[in-house]
Amino acid sequence: MHSQRGNPPPKRRRHTGGLFGFLFLVLTAGMVGAAPAPHIARLGSLPDWSRLDPFQETMSREEFVYQLRHCYVRNEDDYRGIIEILPDRALILRQSNHPESGLYELRFRQAGAAPAPRRIRYWRSVQEIDRLPPNTTRPLEGLVVAIDPGHIGGNWTRWDDRHFTIGRDNLPVREGEMVLKVARLLQRDLALLGATVLLTRESNNPVTSLRPEDLRGEARSYLLGRGRVPSDGLIDSTAKAMFAISSEIRARAELVNQNFQPDIALCLHFDASPWGSRPSLRNKNHFHILINGCYARFEVEEDDTRLEMLLRILQRTHYEEVALAHELARTMGKATRLPAFAYDGTNGKSVSDNRFVWARNLLANRSFFCPVIFFEPYCMNHPEVFERVQLGEYRGLREINGVYRKNIYREYADGVIAGLVNYFRRYR
C-alpha cells in the first residue's frame, strides 16, 4: 500500500490566466489586507527559494516545459497562474495564496550558452558513476543505494493501518514487517554485488521521535487552515496520519538527503485491493512501479511542494527514474508473473509506453532528492498472496497453484536485483 496524497483543500478561485493576470495579482494583492499564512503541505516547512539559485541558466525553456507537462503535472490548468513561462524565464509565485510576496525568476539557458556545471545535486546518474572493468562479478561497485522499507511493524501497526488478519488460525499480514524482510535480503545481496546499501529503518520501530499525541496541535492548525471544523475525532485521525505518514516519511527523508545521499532510493511496499467494513480476500492481483509526477493543482499550490517539484525538474531526476523503472518493471514482471495495474489519469499518470510504470506524487518519492523507484507488487489480500504469506520464508521452491515458486520475499528481492544488475551492467 502506498502513502496517501492527503485530502485536497476546499476549492478556491483560480488565478487569472496569462501574464497580465499574473502581474495584476502581484500588484493588487496589497489591497486585501494582512498576508495569509503560507500554504504548505502537512508538516511541511517554509520553502527556501534560494535553493533554486544554482540552477539558473542550466535548462532550456523547451526542456523545462517538456518535463513539467509530460510528467510533473496532469495538465496546464494545474499550474496556471502559479508558474508563468516566458521565452527566457519562468516566473514562480513564492506564496501561492499571497502574490504580494513576490515572484522567483528562474532564467532559462539560451541557445549557444556554455554547458552548465554537471554536479549541482548529490546523486550521480549512471553515466557519472565509474565505468566497470570487463567481466566483473561486482556490477554495482561504487553505487550507493538507499532502501526504504515502507510503513512500520510490530505494535506500531495499530497506528499505521497496514495490517490485517483473516481467520483465527492464520498469521497476521503486516506490510511493514513484510517489506523489512525484503529489505534485508536486498541489503545483503546488493552489498555482495558491490553496492553500498543503507536502510532508512532496520527494525519495526518508527524513525520519527514524534508520536500522535505530540501532533494534535499541528493537526488542529492544519484543519483550520483548510477550512475544516477540527472536531476531536478529526483531530485524532489527522494527528495519526501525520505521525504514520508525514512525520515518519520526513524523518526518513532527512536520513536519505543529509546522511545517506544515495544514487538511487528503493521504496518497498506491498499492495492490497479495497475491502468493505472488514478485511476480506479479493480476486485482484497486480503490480506497478511509481516514479514522481502527476501533481494535482492543490499540490502545486502548496509552496513547499511546488519548490520540491521544481528541484526534481531541474535535477533532471525524471530521466534516470523512468529508464531504471523500465528495466525493473521487466524483471519484476518476469519474477512475479503479475499483470499491470492501471490508474485513471487522475492520481497516476502514464509517462511512457510501459504499462507497469506510472507517475504519482507521494511524499517519499518527492522528498527523497534522488531518483526514487516505488514498488507496489502483490495484493496482500489476494488468496494466492495470502497463502504465500502464511508459508513464510521457506527455502527452495514450493508448488503454488500448480507452479513451483520461491518464497514471496525471495521472489520480490530477486526481481529487484535482476533489474539493477541489468541496468548498471548495460549503461556502465
Residue pLDDT, tens place only, 376-417: 999 999 999 999 999 999 999 999 999 999 999 999 999 999
Q: CB–CB of 321/292 below 8 Å? A: yes
Query: How far is the C-alpha of 198 from the C-alpha of 111, rounded, in Å?
Result: 41
Nearest CA-CA partner of 145 in 115, 183, 94: 183
What is the side-by-side order of every strand in the sheet holding 89-93?
83-85, 89-93, 103-107
pLDDT given at position 7: 47
pLDDT > 70? residue 32: no
Three-state DSSP at 73 gives strand
CB contact at 8 A, 142 and 129: yes
Q: Of 108, 403, 148, 400, nearest to 290 (Cα)?
A: 148
Q: What band does 226 get if pLDDT is binned at 50, 70 and 90?
A: confident
Percent of the chain surpassing pLDDT 70: 91
Name the more confident of 2 and 14. Answer: 2
* Predicted local confidence at residue 288, as pLDDT: 98
- HSE toward the beta carbon, residue 96, CA cutoff 13 A: 27
Q: Which residue has the cell 545481496?
A: 189
Measured from the Cβ of residue 169, the count of other Cβ atoms closer than 10 Å reads 5
DSSP sequence for 98-123: -GGG-EEEEEPPPTTPPPPPS-SSSS
- Give the separation between CA 331 and CA 66, rounded to whole angstroms: 29
CA distance 387 to 171: 10
Mean local confidence (pLDDT), 355-365: 97
Cβ-in-10-Å burial (0-12, 13-18, 19+) of 183 comes to: buried
91-113 pLDDT, tens digit per residue, is 999 999 999 999 999 999 998 87
Please tell me the predicted confidence (pLDDT) of residue 238. Answer: 94
Of 3-12, 235-244, 323-332, 352-361, minimum mean pLDDT range:
3-12
Q: Which pLDDT value is given to residue 21? A: 52
Contact (CB, 8 A) for 361 and 292: yes
Distance, CA of 14 to CA of 421 (rounded, Å): 47
Cell of 319: 530521466
Amino acid letter, 10: P
pLDDT at 115: 67
What pLDDT does 23 receive? 52
Residue 14 has pLDDT above 50, yes or no: no
Statement: residue 15 has pLDDT above 60: no
Say what the pLDDT of residue 10 is. Answer: 42
The C-alpha cell at 181 is 524482510
The mean pLDDT value for 417-425 works out to: 97
Percentage of the chain surpassing pLDDT 90? Answer: 80
Contacts of 24 (CB under 8 A, 6+ apart): 16
pTM above 0.85, yes or no: yes
Choose between 416 and 32: higher pLDDT. Answer: 416
Does residue 343 contact residue 349 with C-beta atoms inside 8 Å? yes
- pLDDT of 428 reads 81
Comparing C-alpha atoms, which of 31, 13, 15, 12 is closest to residue 23? Answer: 15
Residues 77-96: what's their mean pLDDT?
A: 97
pLDDT at 227: 87
Q: What are the start-end ranges of the E strands in 1-102?
A: 83-85, 89-93
Across 5-19, 57-71, 183-197, 331-345, least confident range? 5-19
Distance CA 140, CA 420 (A): 8
Q: Give me the pLDDT at residue 18, please.
A: 55
Residue 317: all three cell numbers together:
531526476
The number of angstroms, rounded, from the C-alpha of 26 to the middle of its chain's C-alpha atoms is 32
**What domains can be seen in the chain, in order of their start residue?**
18-107 (no CATH), 126-208+244-427 (3.40.630.40)
Query: What is the per-residue pLDDT across 113-123, written as a single tens digit (0 to 9) for each?
Result: 776 665 689 99
Given a contact cutoff of 8 angstroms between Cβ atoms, the answer to whether 74 and 295 are in contact is yes
Query: What is the C-alpha separation between 240 and 325, in angstroms, rounded?
Result: 32
pLDDT for the residue 109:
95
Reported as a pLDDT band with limits 50, 70 and 90, residue 9 is: very low
Helix (H) or strand (E) segment spanning residue 9? none
How far lies 179's CA from each of 176, 333, 365, in Å? 6, 18, 17
For residues 318-337, average pLDDT: 98
| Residue 87: pLDDT over 90 | yes
Q: What is the pLDDT of residues 115-148, one digit of tens each?
A: 666 568 999 999 999 888 888 999 999 999 999 9
Question: Quick one: pLDDT at residue 308?
Answer: 98
428: CB partners within 8 A, 6+ apart:
126, 129, 130, 131, 132, 139
Neighbours of 38 (CB within 10 A): 19
Instruction: For the beta carbon of residue 361, count every other beta carbon within 10 angstroms.
Output: 24
Written as one string, the DSSP assignment of 346-363 is: SS-EE-SS-TTEEE---H
8-state DSSP, 391: H
